[in-house]
A and B are shown apart, each in its own frame.
Chain A
Amino acid sequence: MKKSALALGLVVGALVGTPALHEASAQESVYVPLFTYRTGPFAGSGIPIADGMRDYLEMLNQRDGGIGGVKIVIEECETGYDTKKGVECYEAVKDKKPVLTNPYSTGITLQLIPRASVDKIPMLSMAYGLSASADGTVFPWIFNPPATYWDGASVMVTYMAQQLGGFDKLKGKKLGLIHLDAPFGKEPIPLLENLAKEYGFELKLYPIAAADMQNQSGTWLAIRRDRPDFIYNQGFGAMNPTAVKEAIRNNYPVGKMVGVWWAGGDDDARGGGAEAKGYKALSFNQTGVDYPVMQDIIKHVFDKKLSKVENRNRIGEALYNRGVYNSMLIAEAIRTAQRITGKKVVDGADVRRGLEGLDITEARLKELGMEGFAAPVRVTCADHNGHNKAFVAEWDGGKYVKASDWIEPIKNKVRPLIEAAAKEYASSNTGWPKRSEACDKPS
């Protein structure tokens, strides 16, 4: 029969397709799949991040022969920032014993959270994904260091207070939140409402529908009317450059506009031209190549033509360096896992312990060639985020420069929200497993 022949063909094709991507030689290597998006409407932010992530791991392979003498098998899987494709990627890599997954999309993260504990593959969603997963007692397999969106929003409020000269000066001020009208964009709202009540400032919301990311003039009319003292931009993709341009068009001082870390790509500000100077975004990593680690990447990866970056100037951009930072977390987690277990070739369960034991101190950062590049990160058994410091970076017309000190998030406001959200998640998902994984003693 023709139809069954067709079906059979598809079946065979798909079956063959499963294990195909790469035959990881399981003996002396760890398999690190990277879900990246170099295509699709969000490729602009996806490409530099993907390059940074890949190049750092490649550099470790070239310079040190991997981590602890074990080669890293790096494999990218293209998601196009599409949840369906991301889950396909997960299914394709799952059976190849990945030591962790790195989905790089909140949508994909949400889908994979329940599966992580079942498949025993930890997931690192660096400063995105589900904020509640910072609670390690409920989400033993999910990690989202170095900070959650709630931490980011609290850093924003602290920064605002610093600019005005103290938290008591916040009274009567207006903070506008321009955000993508989706769960990601709406996430900071409860925390900001909380803080607004506490400090007496007014919170104004400016949602942008996903379909209108590049068509914001209506929203900016409202901003002109309300004249908020500061704007916090929880945006993504094409929404950010449009927001910067609209701010300029509407004579809103760009210096008063601060984006979340995903609104801090070089392309986000570059489109605004000279007038975008002064645009700010939160960040937890420095830009530029004046760090030993960046020099090593250039020497061992870019100069050997192993990088996918075509233009050397793009190395050192904010999002490229964020990719490097992301891979540093991966590598350090694997290294910690090796130390804890004493094994060279670690698996997912070991790396979960490695992530929980993650303690990147100033001294360690210096060894990594990242002194001043990032703040120390510490993850514990109960706290899978760390609520680490961030700073405000300012666009100087060609790159982002650090424009504030490292600012501590208001942890005592954030943590209760996280624990409540985690508890709510566990109770509404009947059958959510109780944590059975033992905690390692902090070393």
Chain B
Amino acid sequence: MFYREAGQFKTSYAADMAIFPILQDRIGLAVILAIAFIAIPLFGSNFLIQTVMIPFLVFALAAIGLNILTGYTGLISLGSGAFMGVGAYACYKLTTIFPGVNIIVWILASGFFAAAIGVVFGLPSLRIKGFYLTVATLAAQFFLQWSFVRIPWLYNYNASGAIEVPQRLLAGIPVTGANATPVTRYLVLLSIVILLTWIASNLVHGRIGRSWMAVRDMDIAAELMGIRLLPAKLLSFAVSSFYCGVAGACMMFLWYGGGEANDAFNINQSFTILFMVIIGGLGSIIGSYFGAAFISILPTALKFGLPAMGIALSGPVAEHLNYIILGVLILFFLIVEPHGLARLWQVGKQKLRVWPFPY
């Protein structure tokens, strides 16, 4: 009733091709942005910001990165955790070598290092396809993880063997380190994520994105149509790793505030991000957000939400139950909608358009 485009006329091709052609969508987006930028920092508790929103945004960024590779280009990667690690260690080295430069510049720049490493491990993708390609990315995962522990230069030879996040200021306010409030870190992270989402959205809707999708649908056909496979695939690896790298730097500097690779950038992390992409919806930016929300927020919500609803369970039982519920929910959503939550969202919008008089 409220959600329909009747009466909204397009007078130019640009308007017709807009990503959000419907007015209500644009309003909705503005509302969400307003909630994210104003309501949550003002009214959210530190717990909400620190353990729900910040992890969600970091994972959403990583999921967008992997979605570019897996969802848009059709190359499955199990190395995203390690690429996040590359970003985190690059950022750590950069900010300790050049402490004067703004930390946000380094967080973004660290993505380029991840991109470079990503391209190297993406090289076999021209020859190896499908599940077989995962071995190249798994090699990246385990080799890089080993390097993080093995090369003390990466963690500045410190005794803890971990990244120790120093305090950095932005306009006099601490952004990283212990004195940075969750709200500051959240706002910085949110800005980075939104900026990169906007760039990703433009990338995938443009010429490059279309060439990626052509490669995904059938690479030989794409080649016949004049898409050069190697540059297209490598660019996809580079962009994807860039996003993962930035996500990794954000994870260490804006969320964890220090930590070590075996703990944070292990194979489980790679799997987690892949599953976010799949459950959210392959080849969908908004799906990356849904997937990240589902897999990162749900366990927290179950752990702290069930006791809040009066279902008091002892720690381990609750943890087991969380696993069971999460497993069942994944199966349930896959059976209901195998194309991910993004598709569910599409269907929902479609239904909403004709509500209350469905035909």
Contact = CB atoms under 8 A, between A and B. Distances in A.
Interface in A78-131: 78, 80, 83-85, 87-88, 91-92, 94-95, 107, 110-111, 113-115, 117-118, 130-131
Nearest to B157: A424
A18 B319 contact: no
Interface stretch (B64-72, B241-249, B251-259): B251-259
A15 B301 CA distance: 10
B348 interface: yes
Given A88-B300, A118-B179, A428 B158 contact: yes
B329 interface: no
B55 interface: yes
A438 interface: no
A4 B32 contact: yes
B177 interface: yes
A190 interface: yes
Interface in B162-185: 162, 164-168, 174, 177-179
A38 interface: yes
Interface stretch (B121-129, B194-202, B219-227, B263-271): B263-271
Interface in B139-153: 142, 146, 149-150
B315 A77 contact: yes
B167 A3 contact: no
* Range, interface on chain A: 35 or more
B293 A117 contact: no
Interface string A13-45: 111111011000000000000001011000000
A18 B164 contact: no
A38 B322 CA distance: 14
Contacts of B44: 11, 15
Given A78-B315, A130-B160, A429-B167, A83 B301 contact: no
Interface stretch (A181-189, A274-282, A324-332): A181-189
Which of B51, B99, B318 counts the most A-chain CB atoms under 10 A from its CB? B51
Contacts of A195: none
A186 B155 CA distance: 13
A430 B31 contact: no
Contacts of B31: 1, 4
B45 interface: yes
B284 interface: no
Nearest to A77: B315
Nearest to B178: A114
A72 B319 CA distance: 25
Given A4-B28, A91-B50, A107-B259, A15 B316 contact: no
Contacts of B96: 428
A421 B160 CA distance: 9
Contacts of A132: 159-160
Given A4-B35, A428-B164, A83 B256 contact: yes
A80 B300 CA distance: 13
Which of A4, A78, A432 counts the most B-chain CB atoms under 10 A from its CB? A78
Contacts of A95: 46-47
Contact of B52 (A10, A428, A432): A10
5 contacts: A14-B48, A17-B305, A87-B256, A115-B257, A182-B262
Considering the complex of A and B, which 4 residue pairs feature the smallest CB-CB distances, nearest first?
A431-B167, A183-B161, A114-B178, A78-B315
Given A14-B301, A18-B304, 11 more contacts: A2-B352, A17-B305, A36-B315, A38-B316, A76-B315, A92-B47, A111-B256, A181-B149, A425-B164, A428-B164, A431-B167
